[in-house]
């Protein structure tokens, strides 16, 4: 998706950059081309109009930043406005104080609801939750079977019974309360078009389960059409967001770029394939960067500057120097790195990194799993992993949806890193002291004991 839009925009920007100074006519011409590119990508015309107006306001006649060239200024404005159109901030799920947190999925036939339900189940497990899936699609007998198959692949139990969709959903919620499942995901029947009967059904399910999140599942492949459908669903159900599926297809991407503005609700999750792992929260900033082409140094540097919290880095460096680097520091560092966007692009941005490292595959899902494992530990365990015995290990594995051997592997990797860092910290200290000692002409370095170990 977005390939042709990306190519078009890149072409426009390359031409802009080729000019030394830009006058108003240059910018207007570029904006005209951007407008056409967006319309051809199937973005809603009103969305395009708003976007172009805002970019123009920011680039023509406005006070230009001293640090950026005029063409960079345009690129920056396009980038930031795209992020806004895509929804700004990614979704942060807040959980119900009285579990379960109920998530209701609705959508047209074949949009990808059942697949998304299982993927969401897996995603919640990775967040350290205990979800329960409810098969409330009783239209087709095969629907519940499909959900059970996907649920078992995701490691999430499925509740269903052959009563009626509302009764199943209510019973599913009671079952979650009874068995201590803290997230309930309800998969509902699809419909060919916005049809009154089925819409009434999903509305009754909603009224009787009071969902905390109601997501509309939309197939990105059907373009503008899906956005109009979304408006109808929103009127009936008060949506919280959209789950956009089949982003791996060759859709032009207009739906992703229009949903937020037209429906007034953001894309919460995006599905990029049939596999359970092809799923994650939707990140407007990463998507905007992807649309503009990741080769763009400006956006990457800007992002790195914005998100890398120097304080955290300084704290970790100090911890490292003192030879105490805990799992908490480790997690904090990883979260910083994740905030900067796809790892691959950051590595690609750094100068002087050997090609074989740049091309190495960095698996962000691996990071997500590590994060889930660390999140499932108590603060004491994070500070002192030696507390983690067999039963604690099992609890952590269950809580994070991983296996005990994965927990073991993480602890082993962490110990190795800690040892490496202690060695580095120690040698930094020794060379510091040596330097000072040499200056003062003293012989024995005092107080330079071995590093404190945990």
Ligand X SMILES: Nc1nc2c(ncn2[C@@H]2O[C@H](COP(=O)(O)OP(=O)(O)OP(=O)(O)O)[C@@H](O)[C@H]2O)c(=O)[nH]1
Instruction: Please report whether residue 114 would count as binding Mg ion according to CB under 5 A.
Output: yes
Binding segment (CB under 6 A) for ligand X, from list 245-253, 317-325, 405-413, 418-426:
245-253
Does 186 help bind ligand X (rule: CB under 6 A)?
no
Query: What are 146's two structure tokens?
Result: 């499909």
Closest CA to 185 of 164, 214, 149, 161: 214
Of 137 and 261, nearer to ligand X (C-beta) is: 137
Q: Nearer Cβ to ligand X, position 109 or 228?
A: 109
> Which residue among 6, 72, 114, 345 contacts ligand X (CB under 6 A)?
114
Of the ranges 60-68, 151-159, 173-181, 270-278, which one interacts with ligand X (CB under 6 A)? 270-278
* Distance set, CA 76 to CA 9, 87, 121, 167 (Å): 13, 17, 37, 52
Cβ distance 81 to 56 under 8 Å? Answer: no
Q: Report if residue 188 touches Mg ion, rule: CB under 5 A.
A: no
Region binding ligand X by CB under 6 A among candidate stretches 30-38, 246-254, 383-391, 419-427: 246-254
* Candidate residues 76, 246, 382, 393; the one interacting with ligand X per rule CB under 6 A: 246
Stretch that binds ligand X, among 79-87, 111-119, 373-381, 421-429 (CB under 6 A): 111-119
Q: Shortest approach of ligand X to residue 453 CB, angstroms?
A: 47
Judged on CB neighbours under 10 Å (0-12, 13-18, 19+), 161 is middle
Choose the binding region for ligand X from 87-95, 105-113, 328-336, 356-364 (rule: CB under 6 A).
105-113
Placement of tokens 């200056």 in the chain: 439
Residues 107, 131, 211, 254: which binds ligand X (CB under 6 A)? 107
Q: Which of 72, 127, 214, 245 binds ligand X (CB under 6 A)?
A: 245
Could you give the strand order of the β-sheet that contains 267-271, starting from the edge strand earlier in sequence?
158-159, 131-136, 183-188, 101-107, 213-219, 241-245, 267-271, 279-281
Q: How far is the CB of 74 from ligand X (least distance, A)?
A: 33
In the shown chain, the binding pattern of residues 195 to 234 toward ligand X, with x for contact by CB under 6 A and - for none, equals ----------------------x-----------------
Of 81, 137, 285, 329, which lies in the binding site for ligand X, with binding defined by CB under 6 A?
Answer: 137
Segment near Mg ion (CB under 5 A); pick from 68-76, 107-115, 202-210, 317-325: 107-115
Q: How far is the CB of 420 from ligand X (least distance, A)?
A: 40
For ligand X, the binding residue among 101, 115, 130, 345 (CB under 6 A) is 115
**d(C-alpha 87, C-alpha 47), whole Å:** 12
Q: Residue 190, interface with ligand X (CB under 6 A)?
A: yes
The C-alpha atoms of residue 194 and residue 154 are separated, in whole angstroms, by 30
Question: Residue 285, interface with ligand X (CB under 6 A)?
Answer: no
Strands 241-245 and 158-159: unpaired
Stretch that binds ligand X, among 57-65, 107-115, 167-175, 420-428 (CB under 6 A): 107-115
- Least Å distance, CB 229 to Mg ion, is 16
Q: Of the listed pieces 110-118, 233-241, 360-368, 399-407, which binds Mg ion according to CB under 5 A?
A: 110-118
Told to check if 112 binds ligand X by CB under 6 A, we report yes
The interface partner of residue 115, options being ligand X, Mg ion, none and the CB cut-off 5 to 8 Å by kind, is ligand X
Binding of ligand X at residue 274 (CB under 6 A)? yes
Measured between alpha carbons, how far is 357 from 344 in angstroms, rounded to an integer? 10
> Between residues 211 and 425, which has the closer beta carbon with respect to ligand X?
211
The one of ligand X, Mg ion, none whose footprint includes residue 246, by CB under 5 to 8 A per kind, is: ligand X
Report the residue closest to Mg ion, judged by CB. 114
Angle, CA 285 vertex, CA 246 and CA 186 arms, to 5°:
45
Shortest separation between residue 185's beta carbon and ligand X, angstroms = 12
CA-derived radius of gyration, the chain? 26
Partner touching 169 among ligand X, Mg ion, none, CB below 5 to 8 Å by kind = none
Pick the closer one to ligand X by CB: 252 or 382: 252
Choose, by CB under 6 A, the member of 34, 38, 143, 154 that binds ligand X.
Answer: 143
Chain positions contacting Mg ion, by CB under 5 A = 113-114
The binding site for ligand X (CB under 6 A) comprises 107, 109-115, 137, 143, 190, 217, 245-246, 248-249, 271-274
């Amino acid at each position: 998706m977005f390939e042709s839009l990306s190519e078009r925009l890149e072409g426009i920007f390359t031409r802009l950059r080729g000019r030394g100074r830009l006058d108003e006519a240059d910018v207007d011409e570029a904006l005209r081309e951007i407008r056409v590119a967006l319309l051809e990508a199937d973005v809603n015309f009103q969305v395009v109009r708003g976007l172009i107006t805002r970019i123009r306001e920011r680039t023509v006649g406005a006070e230009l930043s001293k640090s950026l060239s005029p063409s960079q200024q345009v690129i920056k404005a396009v980038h930031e406005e795209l992020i806004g159109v895509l929804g700004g901030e990614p979704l942060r799920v807040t959980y119900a104080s009285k579990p379960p947190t109920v998530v209701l999925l609705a959508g047209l036939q074949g949009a990808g609801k059942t697949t998304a339900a299982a993927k969401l189940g897996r995603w919640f497990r990775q967040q350290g939750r205990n979800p329960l899936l409810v098969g409330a699609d009783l239209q087709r007998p095969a629907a519940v079977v499909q959900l059970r198959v996907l649920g078992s692949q995701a490691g999430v139990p499925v509740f269903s019974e052959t009563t009626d969709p509302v009764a199943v959903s209510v019973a599913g919620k009671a079952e979650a309360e009874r068995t201590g499942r803290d997230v309930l995901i309800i998969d509902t029947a699809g419909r060919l078009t916005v049809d009154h009967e089925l819409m009434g059904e999903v509305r009754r399910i909603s009224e009787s389960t009071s969902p905390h999140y109601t997501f509309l599942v939309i197939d990105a492949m059907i373009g503008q059409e899906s956005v109009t459908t979304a408006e109808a669903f929103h009127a009936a159900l008060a949506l919280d967001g959209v789950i956009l599926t089949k982003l791996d297809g060759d859709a032009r991407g207009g739906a992703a770029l229009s949903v937020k503005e037209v429906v007034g609700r953001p894309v919460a999750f995006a599905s990029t394939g049939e596999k359970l792992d092809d799923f994650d929260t939707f990140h407007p900033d990463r998507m905007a960067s992807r649309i503009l082409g990741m080769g763009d140094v400006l956006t990457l540097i800007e992002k790195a500057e914005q998100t890398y919290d120097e304080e955290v880095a300084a704290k970790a460096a100090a911890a490292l120097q003192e030879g105490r680097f805990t799992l908490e520091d480790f997690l904090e560092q990883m979260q910083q790195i994740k905030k900067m966007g796809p790892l691959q692009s950051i590595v690609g941005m750094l100068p002087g990194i050997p090609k074989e490292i740049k091309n190495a595959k960095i698996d962000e899902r691996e990071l997500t799993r590590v994060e889930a494992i660390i999140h499932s530990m108590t603060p004491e365990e994070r500070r002192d992993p030696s507390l983690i015995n067999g039963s604690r290990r099992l609890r952590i594995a269950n809580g994070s949806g991983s296996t005990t051997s994965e927990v073991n592997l993480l602890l082993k990797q962490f110990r190795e890193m800690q040892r490496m860092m202690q060695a580095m910290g120690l040698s930094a200290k020794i060379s510091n002291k040596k330097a000072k000692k040499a200056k003062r002409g003293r012989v024995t370095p005092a107080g330079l004991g071995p590093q404190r170990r945990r």
